[in-house]
Amino acid sequence: MNLAVGTKQDGTTAVDGGWLDGFHGNFHNRPWRTYGRLADMIEPTPAGLFVLLDEAPVSLNDGNLTSYQ
C-alpha cells in the first residue's frame, strides 16, 4: 500500500504523509488525505482508491509510488 495508508506508533492516528505535498509539510488530511484504517476511507470510498500499482525499477525504493523522469 502507499505510504499515505497506515498509523503512527500509537496504532490509531493516521500517518501525516508529509512527503505528499513535495515539501514534507502535509499533516493528516491537510491538504492531502491519509488513512489509518479502513473506516477512515469515506471520501472517496475504498472502491475508488488504488491499492496496488507498478513502480519503475529505477525508483523502487519505498512506498511513495512516485515516478522519476
* Residue range 11-26, pLDDT digits in tens: 888 989 887 877 888 8
**Predicted TM-score (pTM) above 0.75:** no
The structural domains of the chain, with segments of one domain joined by +, span 1-63
Give ∠ CA 54-20-35 in degrees, rounded to 5. 80
**Which pLDDT tens digit goes with each residue over 33-48?**
888 888 888 888 888 8
Task: Determine contact, residues 61/32, Cβ cutoff 8 Å.
Answer: no
CA-nearest of 49, 30, 35, 32 to 7 is: 35
